[in-house]
Amino acid sequence: MKKNCIMLLLLGLMVSVLTGCGVEEYFNSQRDSTDTEVKELPKMVLNEPFRVTTVNGDYSVTINGARTTRERNANSKTDPKQVLFLDFTYENSSYEKRNNIDFFLAQGDFVVTDDEGNVLETYNIKDPNRIIQETPIGGSCSASIAYGLEKESKNLTITFVRGKGREVAQITIPIE
């Protein structure tokens, strides 16, 4: 009886040691793989619609370009070296109204960075021909968002995000 108890105790100890090592190895391999992996976002293509499918319906967004402007806001507290418009178009294929509001994209849907990786702040000017608007199913809108740059840049990287910072796609475009 004593012999069986000792054998069971040793067997239990061996199983817990081996299992413990296996668990530690498993967690170390999980940590190592997430530390080194870089999530590659789908690439958007300039002037080509990027289709997004959601549980609320489908839509597409097209990045049309980035263009500089000499226009400045006289009431602005900042004096940017370069001001530009990010031009984009969105089309509502089947996205249903939410809270009695039709689909639209706005400044919070884009994270824009310059050549040096600086995240750009929006600048308070509007292009009256490209105003963000709600779009019912079947509708589309050509819109622009202005950004002020502290340093001149030749390119922009635009990351399209949805929800709470969930990155969807990315594109790098020249500034015209």
pLDDT digits (tens, 9 = 90+) for 130-176: 999 999 999 999 999 999 999 999 999 999 999 887 999 999 999 99
Domain ranges of the chain: 1-37, 50-174
Nearest to 130 by CA among 67, 44, 45: 67
Can you say whether the dihedral through the CA atoms of 46, 47, 53, 59 is positive or negative? positive
Query: Under DSSP, is residue 68 helix (H, G, I), strand (E, B) or coil?
Result: strand
The structure tokens listed for 160 are 């399209």
Question: For residue 50, what are the CA distances in angstroms to 19, 30, 89?
Answer: 47, 33, 10
Question: pTM of the entire structure?
Answer: 0.77
**Between these two residues, 152 and 9, which has the higher pLDDT value?**
152
**Is the per-residue pLDDT at 27 higher than 70?**
no
> For residue range 72-116, what is the model confidence (pLDDT) as tens digits?
999 988 889 999 999 999 999 999 999 999 999 999 999 999 999
**Is the per-residue pLDDT at 62 higher than 90?**
yes
**pLDDT on residue 145:** 98
* Distance from C-alpha of 112 to C-alpha of 158, rounded to nearest angstrom: 5
Kindly indicate the confidence band of residue 7, based on its pLDDT and cuts at 50, 70 and 90. low
Average pLDDT value for residue range 18-25: 46
Q: Which CATH entry fits the domain spanning 50-174: 2.40.110.10, 2.40.160.20, 2.60.40.1240, 3.40.1830.10?
A: 2.60.40.1240
Strands of the sheet with 166-174, listed across from one edge: 110-113, 155-162, 166-174
